[in-house]
Amino acid sequence: MADDFEAPHWETDVLVIGGGLAGTWATIAAAREGARVILADKGYCGTSGVTATAGPGHWWVPPEHREAAVADRLKRSLGLGDPDWMARILDLTWTSLPQLSRHYAFSTDEQGRVQYRGLRGPEYMRAMRAFALEAGATILDHHPVLELLTNADGVVTGAAGVALRGERPWTIRAGAVVLATGGCAFASRLLGSATNTGDGLLMGVEAGADLSGMEFSNYYTPMQAGTNMARSMSFAFARWFDEADHELDIPAGPDVSPHLARALLKGRLYCRLDRIPQDIREVMPQVQPNFVRPFARMGIDAYAERFEVSLVSEGTVRGVGGLRIDGQLCQTAAPGLFAAGDAASRELVTGAISGGGAVNSSWALSSGQWAGQGAAAFARGRRRAGERLHHLGQAGLRPTGRLAGVDLPAAVQLVREEMGAYDRNIFRTGEALAASGEKLDEAWREIAAHAGGWGRGLLRARETAAMVAAARWSKASAVQRRESRGMHRREDAPGLDPRLASRQRAQGLDRVVTRFEAASPENTSLEAVA
């Protein structure tokens, strides 16, 4: 990609990258602080991202119940959560959702009480787009970002990308940048995840940020086989059967995925949802409309007939890992760069387990607003006149060797296999993780040395590089966490290791380095190079 400042160019106080739930909340918060804001989305803000296809709940807890809610969540975080952050998102969620009432028609219960906890995803995101425009933001749809820009001091000062219409490059100078690009679904074809290719993680690390919690990237969700409809609420009531229609002894609960994976490794798996209460069946078309449509299309009565089920990897979308937060306003370790939503690590509020829909949605709402506030404050304190900008993008943009044809689909398929296979990613061993890492390292070297392109081809190369990079950070972190904690399960280390009751950072591009934070004296020397 040429360093072309003659391309279409904008200037703003705050640039928000990503138009999903976190990105729109960040945009609104920054605008409220008086900042000029541009939101650049790879897709169309209001329809792209996982929230737009879902029926998202929120961690909506009345004040009198919050102490108990935090205590319960902290216990389940297995030593990696922070009660202060949990309390903060509960409070901000409570005060923020009612603000949507001008743009969103909240449901009411039989007594006429407004129901803020659960929202209809498509309408929610349409409301967020309207809310952001009302706040005065400029939205650039179909303007994927390819790389960040810095000044001579290494402060993030904007981004460059390509407009999909006309495939023209563009640049934006900004006083601060918020990365709200979503998580990385590792090409699993999860509904709504087409834009979730880990771009923000790669751009953040190139700018000097680090990551946290990348070992907790193996969350799986059951779904009707042959579809990409991964909406897990209904499966809490499921009964499971093998091919011979024998009911399997699989307990309900958040840890059902390993049981389902073991069954799937033996053969086909089937499900019946006949235990779903009638009141939930009645509201399902409203709260999760996308869930019921494949059944209707195939002529299946999901509440009476059995249907085949598979598991889809949600990667870091419902996993945990992302850019490490380095302050109360969601700063990263890179000056001028803030992170929000699934692009940021959620360990502070979820620990070693998934935030599911509710906590993750509240995290997106809250971290988006904090990041927007922080970016606006950072931009106010900067003098930007005459700064020369430096382009940071490397792998997939500026090959270190001769530009040559790289089999990008093969690299994407490698990521899907290594990050999706049950026997390598749910049931982990050090040997298998290391073998996956070696394959991914080889793919990274080829992409870094030879991949590039123009227009949409450049975007595909960059997305592939980001997915491979995110997979490498995940595998390297999983290798070094030699224990089983939360969703990270090691068959060769099945118990908790008290020395590892701390968060693990990851960074590096050609050479991945991980280290555990010094939460206790035993941890301080635990460092490894993958």
Q: Are strands 513-516 and 527-529 parallel, antiparallel or unpaired?
A: antiparallel
The DSSP result for 279-337, as a single string, is HHHHHHHHHSHHHHHHHHHHT--TTTS-EEEEEEEEETTSS--EEPP-STT-B-SSTTE
CA gap 120, 106 in Å, rounded? 9
3-state secondary structure 101-129: HHCCCCEECCCCCEECCECCHHHHHHHHH
pTM of the model: 0.93
- Count CA atoms within 13 Å of residue 501 on its CB side: 16
Residues 321 and 350: beta-carbon distance below 8 Å: no
Residues near 96 by Cβ (< 8 Å), separated by ≥ 6? 25, 365, 366, 369
Q: Give the domains, in start order, of the chain with CATH numbers.
A: 219-315 (3.90.700)
Tokens 């990270």, residue located: 488
**Tokens 């999706």, located at residue:** 420
The tens-digit pLDDT sequence of the chain (530 residues) is 434 444 679 999 999 999 999 999 999 999 999 999 999 999 999 998 889 888 788 999 999 999 999 999 999 999 999 999 999 999 999 999 999 999 999 988 888 899 998 898 899 999 999 999 999 999 999 999 999 999 999 999 999 999 999 999 999 999 999 999 999 999 998 888 889 999 999 999 999 999 999 999 999 988 888 877 766 667 878 899 999 999 999 887 667 889 999 999 999 999 988 888 887 777 777 666 667 777 778 888 888 888 999 999 999 999 999 999 999 999 999 999 999 999 999 999 999 999 987 999 999 999 999 999 999 999 998 876 678 899 999 999 999 999 888 999 999 999 999 999 999 999 999 999 999 999 999 999 999 999 999 999 999 999 999 999 999 999 999 999 999 999 999 999 999 999 999 999 999 999 999 999 986 443 333 444 44
Q: CA-to-CA distance for 74 and 88, rounded, in angstroms?
A: 14
> Cα dist. 290→55, 57, 191, 232, 318 in Å?
9, 15, 10, 12, 18
Nearest one of 124, 161, 134 to 43, comparing CA atoms: 161
Residue ranges of E strands in 6-153: 9-17, 37-40, 107-108, 114-115, 138-140, 145-150
Three-state DSSP at 527 gives strand
Q: Pull the structure tokens for residue 219.
A: 């969350």
| b/e per residue 278-310 (b: at least 16 CB within 10 A) | eebeeebeebbbbbbebbeeeeeebbeebbebb
Give the CA angle between residues 238, 182, 283 to the nearest 5°: 35
User: What's the distance, Cα to Cα, between the start and end of the chain in Å?
Assistant: 29
